[in-house]
Amino acid sequence: MKRISLTCYFILLLAPFTQAELSTVKGLGGDFTQPYLRVSGAQTNDRAQVNGIIHADLSVIADEAWILPVSSSHLSPGQITSRALNMPGLRPFFLVGEDTQSLAWLRQRATELQEIGAAGLAVEVADTGALARIRAAAPGITILPVNGNDIATRLQIEHYPVLITATSLEQ
């Protein structure tokens, strides 16, 4: 089974939410990168450029099949006890699996999750069909397959589905 570090997933997960302003080098008599792009055979995409700034669209991942299956041995479906957290600046996210409890939880809370801007981590996913079912339960919400063992250990949780915010951990 192939595994990718949790840090890489968080970078992919949080990249669309960053607010950093990009800058470009201008005043060199035109686009100074054009000769390099032509030499390397790369093509520019005018639709992705706005005012000379290229924006990466990370909302579409080419093929996630190589990541799957994802299994988190420290987590299982079940009930959790809600508790307060003190993690200022943490963006809301949630953990789910492909089980019926997670799918029902997603359907029930999809609107709330979208309103607070929560991103999802699917911590138990067998295949692309299961990932599609999870995403269909909460359309419009980013849900990525991730091994949740590190999160489970750090937050001392054993079960999912769970919503984690800067101030609370709740089901």
Structural domain boundaries in the chain: 62-170
Helices (H), 25-138: 34-40, 100-116, 128-137
Cα separation, 159 vs 170, in Å, equals: 11
Rounded Cα–Cα distance for residues 120 and 128 (Å): 16
62-170 folds as Glutaredoxin (3.40.30)
Predicted local distance difference test score (pLDDT) of residue 20: 52
Average pLDDT for 17-23: 52
Give the pLDDT band (50/70/90) at residue 63. confident
pLDDT of amino acid 16: 59
> Please, which pLDDT band fits residue 11 given cuts at 50, 70 and 90?
low
CA angle 126/109/96 to nearest 5° reads: 25
Query: Parallel, antiparallel, or unpaired for β 162-164 and 159-160?
Result: unpaired
Determine the pLDDT at residue 13.
59
pLDDT at position 64, please?
79
Mean pLDDT, residues 74-95 taken together: 96
